[in-house]
Amino acid sequence: MKYLFVFFISAISMFAQVKADDVKSFTLKNGMKIFVLEDHSIPNANMYFFYKVGSRNEYVGITGISHFFEHMMFNGAKKYGPKEFDRVMEANGGSNNAYTSENITAYTDWFPSSSIEVMFDLEADRIANLNFDPKMIESERGVILSERSTGLENDPLEQLWQETQATAFIAHSYQWPVIGWESDIKNWTKEDLENYFHTYYAPNNCVVVISGDVKLSEVKKLAEKYFEPIPAGPKPRSLHTVEPEQTGERRVFVKREVPSPYVLMAFHVPQNISEDYYALELLNSILSQGESSRLYKSIVDNQQLALDVGSTYFDAFDPTLLFIYGIANDGVTAAQLEKSILDELDKIIKDGITDSELQKVKNQKLMQFYQTTETINGMSNTIGTYELFFGDYKKMFTAPEDYKKVTAEDIKNVAAKYFTKQNRTVGILNTEEVQ
């Protein structure tokens, strides 16, 4: 089926392979929206569940509970008790994982397509009837504390990240780390978990994506059998806290013994659904994607001031942060590294970018799109991400075109608009604070 379209592609659509129309969807009576992409290239399939809940839905005292909850989803329901979810899934050839961000919690199952009905049964059980075994809660607390500590132990940047983010936001719940603060991890209760489940884990707060060696008609039948009987819940209350405009540079210092300093900058930027999104995302690529990117080429390669530099702009529902980090080379001070990053930003603000740079990052985006479509995993994750963060999965397929519309001037403008001193938070991690 896929190959047929190769001969009919026009110049408008560069994508011969998967097309937006290949993705089918239906909504169950309880409000659960399900996307299906048939792809028979390997005898496998996957199932992604995107819940619109993340650390942004938390408050002080229960920070990290979204992520803890993610773990508890594997610890027993009604039909399948503690440990049974994983045992049954693996015995049927499947594996699973999950991730939590500030904005969403996503659950993933990867399985041979012949085991699809087991997956529906397992998932329906935990969505409808999750159970909280006090013993499992306690052992999972230990797991999470280990997850938190091993992240900090192995990566100084993670420690700096947490403190910089906490400094950049003063009102919005994006200020605490997804994994939560240690004292909250140690103290939340079974009741907190139950409340969370009832507030956010209703089928109408979930988008499901299934890709691979499946048939739409069969998926529909199974969804109606297993998921539709789960009752809808009340719509969770929407968040109203708006981060006030930052009025001056903020700085934070983290003391930790390291061979050379780490620098992290955070600039307030808008969420996915905003007119500046595509220009900012291309600017992000211009800064740090590949050896020819501005930051890498200048700071790592030419000036030898850093061992590594990078930037990220995460998907977000609310106004968020664009991060730029650098790890100093031997003998380079934090101040030197910070200045070199700011100098690169100033160059873009002042002189803009070249046409060739613009074309490069557009090409990188097209390549990224193709790489996503290479695997059924990439497809499911991206379909769900676009549906949630852009309000429409089709935006995934128009992304290369949407990026094409961005001009060099747009990029210069967003750089000038957001890379200001007033809008930034600078975090430094070092053995000693140098005055």
Residues 96-125 interacting with another protein (rule: CB under 8 A):
96-102, 110-115, 117-118, 121
- How is residue 301 written in tokens? 């390669």
Among 25, 30, 92, 413, binds another protein (CB under 8 A): 92
Q: Which is nearer to another protein, 312 or 422 (CB)?
A: 312
Residues 57-86 that bind another protein (CB under 8 A): 67, 70-71, 74, 80, 83-84, 86
Q: 313: which strand partners?
A: 322
| 421 phi/psi in degrees, rounded to 5 | -65, -40
Q: 312: which strand partners?
A: 323
Nearest C-alpha neighbor of 379 from the set 392, 389, 369? 369
**Beta strand residue intervals within 256-341, DSSP E:** 262-269, 306-313, 320-328
Q: Which is nearer to another protein, 180 or 352 (CB)?
A: 180
Q: Which is nearer to another protein, 158 or 276 (CB)?
A: 158
Among 41, 189, 195, 274, binds another protein (CB under 8 A): 41
- Beta carbons within 8 Å of 140's beta carbon, 6+ residues apart: 68, 71, 72, 75
310 binds another protein (CB under 8 A): yes
Range in contact with another protein (rule: CB under 8 A) among 124-132, 217-225, 306-314, 390-398: 306-314
CA atoms of 419 and 435, how far apart (whole Å): 25
User: CB of 318 within 8 A of CB of 326?
Assistant: no
Q: Total number of residues binding another protein (CB under 8 A)?
A: 108
- The strand pair at 33-38 and 206-212 is best described as parallel
301 binds another protein (CB under 8 A): yes
Range in contact with another protein (rule: CB under 8 A) among 123-131, 197-205, 266-274, 294-302: 294-302
User: CB of 85 within 8 A of CB of 15?
Assistant: no
- Beta carbons within 8 Å of 273's beta carbon, 6+ residues apart: 389, 390, 391
In the complex, minimum distance from the CB of residue 394 to another protein, in angstroms, rounded to a whole number: 19
In the complex, minimum distance from the CB of residue 136 to another protein, in angstroms, rounded to a whole number: 8
24 burial level (CB within 10 Å; 0-12, 13-18, 19+): middle
368 binds another protein (CB under 8 A): yes
Among 27, 59, 155, 392, binds another protein (CB under 8 A): 155
Q: Which is nearer to another protein, 147 or 224 (CB)?
A: 147
CA atoms of 416 and 332, how far apart (whole Å): 27
Range in contact with another protein (rule: CB under 8 A) among 26-34, 227-235, 258-266, 338-346: 258-266
Residues 156-215 that bind another protein (CB under 8 A): 156-158, 161-162, 165, 177-179, 213
